[in-house]
Chain A
């Protein structure tokens, strides 16, 4: 498998001395094109830290991160910033849309930051919104959208242009189960469309949309599921029976 996202021996220590926290210890994780990996673990197990390090928002204390086969540690600050703008989409539970911008403006923001002209950006932004079933909502402000619609706009923003790395932290946050499922269907189809994705969550129902579930405990990967064989019937017992 070609690794689009690759963590090699990644550790993260916050603080020092008595206040030292080992948030991650020796993490190896590879996510390929078209693969959606869920990282499950209790609160404080290091899920968000793993995601911010994979997304180049933070540096590991030890180990290496590669995106598209390129070592982040060997890239200049500018190159890393460009990578974040062009290749990586982030979806977070709270930190989401800017209240003063419409849905379309929120989606095209990363493109415009990347220097794409506003007309071209608008075309790409509308495409992303249509793909997520938000045609007709482009010019609404976040407070004119439901929670589920807002989160779909956030996903549109994460996928706009040709972003092919999707990182989501508890992406269905406070959504009810129908909207949560809709969000997961979108992330799933994004993966099938060639995106490499990591979702971190403590919720097994969300995690079950992933191709592979990795279990984190006290900053370590302690286990992972097998890639599920294709499922035909509910009456057939699960893959590992």
Chain B
């Protein structure tokens, strides 16, 4: 999972404070991936060092810094959204985060994001199927490994399909209706417990 990119995604909706980012991140990702405050600030520092975000000077009265995304940060975010992860690793967590955080991003065509990934995974499946098709009858191991890969990749494609059809049916919501404080712990326990 990519915390830096998820924070960039949230910042692309407008400047905000570090603590607020943490709240938003957890709310948007179904509270499945808890983030501690320290993690948020080190990540923001690194993003700032790399020129992907910038911040106000700390208020004289000790008030919090506000962070905003830079043009370079926006470019980095767009690249991440459209770049499939390495299919050699279980990619789902990052993919789910990517979709969750981009649900309400203005100017992002989610169907397109989903399709970039669908194509990538289907191409990876074609690759495995080619190998399986050529495996000789006595090469059981190769066929089994290819099957395992195919089922894993197929599961991702099915999730993308399901996400696509949910998105098509979703009610239109305005960006300011994000429910930051809705209690989700109960749901978390049943789905991920």
Distance (whole angstroms) from the CB of B142 to the closest CB of chain A? 8
The residues of A that contact B28 with a CB separation of less than 8 Å are none
Closest residue to B120 on the A side, CB-wise? A240
Distance (whole angstroms) from the CB of B186 to the closest CB of chain A? 32
**CB atoms of B133 and A215 under 8 A apart:** no
User: How many chain-B residues does the 8 Å CB contact rule pick out?
Assistant: 34
- Cβ of A208 under 8 Å from chain B: yes
**CB atoms of B128 and A204 under 8 A apart:** no
**CB atoms of B145 and A234 under 8 A apart:** yes
- Cβ of A222 under 8 Å from chain B: yes
**CB atoms of B115 and A234 under 8 A apart:** no
- List B99-133 residues whose CB lies under 8 Å from chain A: 111, 115, 118-131, 133
**CB atoms of A208 and B131 under 8 A apart:** no
Binary per-residue interface labels of chain B (133-145) against chain A in the complex, 1 for a CB within 8 Å, 0 otherwise: 1100000001001
The residues of A that contact B111 with a CB separation of less than 8 Å are 217
**CB atoms of A237 and B149 under 8 A apart:** no
A224, A230, A234, A239 interface centre (most CB from chain B within 10 Å): A234
Closest residue to B133 on the A side, CB-wise? A188
User: How many chain-A residues does the 8 Å CB contact rule pick out?
Assistant: 31
Inter-chain CA distance A225–B158, complex, in Å, is 17
- Cβ of A155 under 8 Å from chain B: no
- Cβ of A50 under 8 Å from chain B: no
- Cβ of B165 under 8 Å from chain A: yes
**CB atoms of B122 and A213 under 8 A apart:** yes
A202, A209, A210 interface centre (most CB from chain B within 10 Å): A209
Inter-chain CA distance A202–B126, complex, in Å, is 15
- Cβ of A2 under 8 Å from chain B: no
**CB atoms of B165 and A225 under 8 A apart:** no
- Cβ of B164 under 8 Å from chain A: yes
Closest residue to B147 on the A side, CB-wise? A177
Binary per-residue interface labels of chain A (220-241) against chain B in the complex, 1 for a CB within 8 Å, 0 otherwise: 0011111010111111011111
Inter-chain CA distance A239–B150, complex, in Å, is 15
Give me the interface of A with B, judged by CB distance under 8 Å: 40, 42, 185, 188, 202, 204-205, 207-210, 213, 215, 217, 222-226, 228, 230-235, 237-241
